[in-house]
Amino acid sequence: MIVGTEWLIEASGCDPEILRDEAVVRDVFSAVIGDLGLKSIGSVWHKFPGEGGVTGLVALTESHLACHTYPEHGVATFNLYCCRTRPEWDWDTKLKKALEATVVRVTRIERGSGGRTDAAGGGR
């Protein structure tokens, strides 16, 4: 039984100045939420001082969307979890444009018991 889908996204080679810009990251969140028809029920944002990056978390009726940026490494990581089926979002094209990323890696995980075993070797 699948109870949701989780996407883990890593964008690298990003422009460090863009990764420090909370407005840009918020725009990415708005695009994801709008394009996928998700519904926000609250958010938390933090801009680290000086040369630091941005952390954002939006709670969704469907679960959550989170991001952490690391300007010192040119990396942004995103996590989207949806408990309802959603189409794939074009992370590659959109993050290359918004963050000037050179590489975008997306991992998709189907969540649920479905007979999978845990890391300790247990399971059904």
DSSP for 52-115?
--EEEEEEETTEEEEEEEETTTTEEEEEEEESS--PPP-HHHHHHHHS--SEEEEEEEEES-TT
Whether 113 is catalytic is: no
Q: Output the six-digit token pair for 20.
A: 């420090």
- Marked catalytic residue, from 12, 40, 43, 83: 83
What sign results for the dihedral spanned by CA atoms 67, 28, 53, 46? negative
Q: 64, 67, 68, 82: which one is catalytic?
A: 68
Determine phi and psi for 110, rounding to 5 degrees: -85, 125
- Told to judge if 83 belongs to the known catalytic residues of this protein, a careful annotator would answer yes
Which of 14, 63, 64, 82 is catalytic? The answer is 63
Segment holding 4, helix H or strand E: strand 4-12
Catalytic residue numbers? 63, 68, 83
